[in-house]
């Protein structure tokens, strides 16, 4: 559950600029976390070179791909319903090919070809470069499946097409996989072990974005704090590296600093962090550079040390609080957000109260909160009985959300009467006459458009707020404006 899922983006079909000579149409739809949406950009780039232009019209597609998530049962059920809808279209267009990509493909593997007769191919997160061969297999009448997890694949040599981009913000993947075997999570089984991209390829991708006018980059990974480049290979094999490889290795704080120094007029964020892997050097680097945003997504899952141990989280309540206190000491203006699970197996009322009291101490600006959902294949599903009644899970989740909403409003109010820097991203949802962007702390900010444009860095005087949105008036450009 280390992945932030934006419910507003689920099921988005993606479109990019057409190549004139391409004559086949690709419909690609994404579910789950930002890693899946980023992977869809990689897939679109690969298939663009195979003669496919994207379309948002399912009925005209030659190839339909759905990039899937396994983090919660709800996500998998949504995909199954979509496959039923694809099936109705395929009856009218029997030449249409359908493939399932991503984590759900990796989890179910060949069962997908057996259960979902509509599916022609199943492609895991490390096999996207094999798509041209898999499509050829389908064309020749064979079922196609590649769910082999790689020890090396990072797609560092693929320049992703930016799908439905606002031209201002972009995601750049720096790691793939996860070594943290949290008992509730399928990610290590669907995305494999941790490996990092060559920092040079990351900087080159950011330079390309910079040259095309992008203003903000989010460095992306299942666990960015574990980033470690020593020439390639799995992070767990670092102890076998040569002395030279160890001496020249690049960790996350160093990568973050390289990005901030190389592109001083771009803003940088990162997601997701894991508490036990966040070192003091990362916090010091954030504090040192104004163009690294004062925001950290720091999933905790529970406020109870006993439950954290059952989850196989590699930190205690006390260690997490000590980390948060150090972050606030070095970056007083930081915003933090959380992931929280209500009703994990064996959770008692005392454990639940520990979670609520932790939230009061940390003062998260916002959070992503879920009732526990048993995921097949995880250690929890194999070893722990899902023994908390649904009504208890729902009640505890409601209480967690209530506490978070109260704190969110209090945290957002701290900006009223201050001036914040905002990167304009789009027109506000609430008014055509207002811009919308985010401040360094990741809080949405709206203000009158006046003569400013998308992509401008502006200073906004905050006059009012809701629990999630700042309201104000621009008073000029910020020093970040090139």
pLDDT of amino acid 179: 86
State which residues of the chain have pLDDT below 50: 1-5, 11-12, 14
For 476, the token pair is 């000029």
DSSP string, 289-323: -TTB-SEEE---B-S-HHHHHHTT-SS-HHHHHHH
Beta bridge partners of 421: 459
For 140, the token pair is 């020749």
pLDDT of amino acid 156: 55
Rounded (10°) CA dihedral 53, 59, 62, 63: 80
CA distance 235 to 302: 27
pLDDT of amino acid 166: 76
**Residue ranges per domain, the chain?**
7-146, 169-413, 418-477
Q: Is 286 in contact with 331 (CB distance < 8 Å)?
A: yes
For 317, the token pair is 């309540």
3 state DSSP class of 119: coil
Non-local CB neighbours of 188 within 8 Å, separated by 6+ positions: 177, 178, 179, 180, 181
pLDDT of amino acid 481: 94
Question: Does residue 465 have a known ligand-binding role?
Answer: no
**Distances from the Cα of 75 to the Cαs of 59, 167, 353, in angstroms?**
23, 29, 29
Beta bridge partners of 146: 123
Non-local CB neighbours of 395 within 8 Å, separated by 6+ positions: none
CA distance 441 to 34: 19
> What's phi and psi for 149, nearest 5 deg?
-85, 135
pLDDT of amino acid 411: 97
Q: Helices (DSSP H) in 13-72: which residue ranges?
A: 34-48
Nearest residue to 290 (alpha-carbon basis) of 253, 329, 263: 263
**Distances from the Cα of 473 to the Cαs of 26, 434, 442, 458, 460, in angstroms?**
42, 10, 18, 10, 5
CA distance 130 to 101: 12
Q: What is the CATH code for 418-477?
A: 2.40.50.140
Residue 320, number of CB atoms within 10 A of its CB: 23
pLDDT of amino acid 2: 38
Q: Is 407 in contact with 360 (CB distance < 8 Å)?
A: yes
Pairing of strands 250-251, 228-229: antiparallel
DSSP string, 317-366: HHHHHHHHHHHHHH-TT-EEEEEEEES-TT--HHHHHHHHHHHHHHT-SE
Beta bridge partners of 196: 175
> What's phi and psi for 180, nearest 5 deg?
-85, 110
pTM summary value: 0.76
CA distance 27 to 62: 8
Question: Does residue 182 have a known ligand-binding role?
Answer: yes
Question: Does residue 33 have a known ligand-binding role?
Answer: yes
Q: Is 434 in contact with 427 (CB distance < 8 Å)?
A: yes
Nearest residue to 262 (alpha-carbon basis) of 335, 307, 207, 220: 207
Residue 163, number of CB atoms within 10 A of its CB: 20
Pairing of strands 469-477, 457-465: antiparallel
Q: What is the phi-psi region of residue 266: left when phi exceeds 0, alpha when psi lies from -120 to 50, beta otherwise?
A: beta
Q: Which fold has domain 7-146?
A: Rossmann fold (3.40.50)
Q: What is the CATH code for 169-413?
A: 3.80.30.20
Q: Is 449 in contact with 435 (CB distance < 8 Å)?
A: yes
Nearest residue to 369 (alpha-carbon basis) of 411, 338, 324, 405: 338
Question: Does residue 293 have a known ligand-binding role?
Answer: no
For 35, the token pair is 């890693």
CA distance 408 to 468: 7
């Amino acid at each position: 559950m280390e992945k932030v899922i934006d419910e507003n983006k689920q099921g988005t079909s993606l479109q990019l600029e057409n190549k004139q000579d391409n004559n086949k149409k690709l419909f690609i739809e994404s579910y789950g976390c930002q890693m899946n949406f980023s992977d869809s950009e990689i897939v679109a780039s690969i298939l663009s070179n195979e003669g496919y232009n994207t379309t948002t019209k399912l009925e005209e597609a030659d190839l339909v791909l759905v990039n899937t998530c396994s983090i919660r049962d709800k996500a998998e059920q949504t995909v199954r319903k979509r496959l039923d809808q694809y099936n109705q279209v395929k009856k009218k267009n029997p030449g249409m090919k359908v493939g399932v990509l991503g984590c759900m493909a990796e989890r179910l593997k060949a069962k997908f070809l057996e259960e979902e007769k509509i599916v022609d191919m199943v492609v895991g997160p490390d096999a996207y470069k094999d798509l041209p061969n898999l499509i050829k297999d389908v064309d020749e009448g064979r079922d196609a499946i590649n769910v082999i997890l790689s020890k090396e694949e990072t797609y560092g040599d693929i320049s992703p097409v930016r799908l439905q981009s606002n031209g201002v913000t972009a995601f750049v993947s720096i790691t793939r996989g996860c070594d943290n075997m949290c008992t509730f999570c399928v990610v290590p089984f669907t995305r494999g072990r941790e490996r990092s991209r060559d920092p040079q390829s990351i900087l080159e991708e950011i330079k390309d974005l910079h040259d095309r006018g992008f203003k903000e980059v989010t460095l992306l990974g299942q666990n960015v704090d574990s980033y470690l480049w020593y020439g390639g290979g799995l992070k767990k094999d670092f102890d076998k590296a040569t002395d030279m490889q160890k001496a020249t290795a690049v960790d996350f704080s160093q990568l973050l600093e390289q990005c901030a120094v190389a592109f001083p007029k771009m803003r940088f964020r990162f997601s997701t962090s894991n508490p036990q892997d966040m070192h003091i050097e990362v916090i010091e680097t954030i504090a040192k550079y104004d163009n690294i945003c004062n925001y950290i997504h720091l999933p905790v899952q529970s406020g109870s040390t006993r439950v954290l141990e059952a989850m196989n989280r590699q930190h205690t309540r006390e260690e997490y609080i000590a980390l948060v206190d150090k972050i606030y000491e070095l970056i007083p203006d930081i915003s933090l957000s959380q992931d929280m699970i209500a009703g994990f197996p064996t959770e008692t009322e005392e454990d639940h109260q520990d979670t609520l009291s932790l939230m009061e101490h940390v003062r998260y600006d916002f959070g992503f909160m879920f009732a526990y959902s048993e995921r097949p294949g995880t250690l929890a599903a194999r070893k722990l009985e899902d023994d908390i009644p649904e009504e208890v899970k729902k009640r505890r989740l409601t209480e967690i959300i209530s506490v978070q909403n109260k704190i969110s409003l209090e945290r957002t109010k701290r900006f009223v009467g201050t001036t914040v820097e905002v990167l304009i991203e789009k027109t506000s949802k609430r008014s055509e006459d207002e811009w919308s962007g985010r401040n360094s702390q990741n809080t949405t900010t709206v203000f009158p458009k006046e003569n400013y444009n998308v992509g401008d860095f502006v200073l906004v005087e905050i006059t009012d707020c809701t629990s999630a949105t700042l309201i104000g008036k621009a008073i000029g450009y910020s020093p970040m404006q090139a």
